[in-house]
Chain A
């Protein structure tokens, strides 16, 4: 009885303490972010992406102008906001990176190995063409509502797979995405961890990627973000454009559906 009372008091105190700690750190970077304003170096990468899209490349010396991102060949405006989606020509659901791989191999004649050689920048790099293309394509959906397609059975199945993967505990640390991202009020160091199972958390996260990463000086894509989360969980490498990454992105996009896209964002 007495012990239980002490335990109860301690629990309340610890709860209060962590609540206070959290409210003190919440908004701690507001001043910093306000001073940075909206001068986002991603603008240069967006310009590059646009140029790359229209520049003939690969063995077939073709541009990506005939690439169908879901709204018809060559329609880029608004396409990102509706991805991932089902594409009948490949009979699968694709995110922007899987679709770009499809267009690069089909239209430009590149091999999958070439596309997968170095999709994302390594430390010290100044950006890859894939990152630039994704930045531009995402920017062409800026302000439009996140509206991933969920009409086709495979699109709904992809969401369900994404949800299962989100909660799937594995790896040497018995970790899942949910370990960090299932509740609010948690943080790593001073970084608040979003609750990606809620509309607000998923919307804020999904709408702001791709993003210019201040610490790295380059634009990172949502595909990279997913792969890096998996790396941090000590999972096997999440392959660009794979079924697993598309499923996880679909899970996030559907949870955040309706929020306006605001990418490329500006992040620490």
Chain B
């Protein structure tokens, strides 16, 4: 439709230019980052395999305050919030978000240095009604809390 193109097309060229600058500027951090992305865990396709890739089945802990809605209006966007009660669970350095019934259950990992609160909020896709897990790693040990979120289909089609 003439110049009324979808916006995505014009964005590419911008990205190509800025990405070169970005990689150079952020090089030291990139090397650190690339070394630590848990690629194997991201590729797993079952909850058991995901836990195994992270180092075993976590112990249930009340120190993990995991909030998700009981029922989501759309599975494409499900808000999740993980807080750690540091009086129960201290020295948390990583927080994992896992969606049991997704093709790849591991959705996200948040690594926090000591001066950052073990806290994470994001929105994830949930393919179908099932359990979501928040896993916290502290001193090499894994802890978890689970929540069930129901996902629904919208009213009028898509």
Contact = CB atoms under 8 A, between A and B. Distances in A.
Q: Do A and B belong to a common assembly?
A: yes
A48 B6 CA distance: 11
A186 B1 CA distance: 39
B81 interface: yes
A190 B152 contact: yes
Contacts, number: 101
A35 B69 contact: yes
B2 interface: yes
Nearest to A229: B156
A213 to B, nearest CB: 8
Interface residues of A, number: 41
Contact of A129 (B4, B76, B77): B4
Nearest to A193: B155
Contacts of A228: 156-157
Interface string A66-78: 0000000000000
Nearest to A29: B73
Contacts of A110: 2-4
A215 B2 contact: no
Contact of A48 (B7, B81, B157): B7
B74 A128 contact: no
Contact of B7 (A29, A132, A191): A132
Interface in A22-38: 28-29, 31-33, 35-36
Interface of A: 28-29, 31-33, 35-36, 48, 57-58, 110-111, 114-119, 121, 123, 125-130, 132, 187-191, 193, 214-217, 228-229, 232, 268
21 contacts: A31-B69, A32-B73, A35-B67, A35-B79, A58-B2, A58-B3, A110-B2, A114-B3, A117-B2, A119-B1, A125-B6, A126-B11, A127-B6, A129-B5, A129-B7, A188-B156, A190-B71, A190-B73, A193-B155, A214-B74, A232-B156
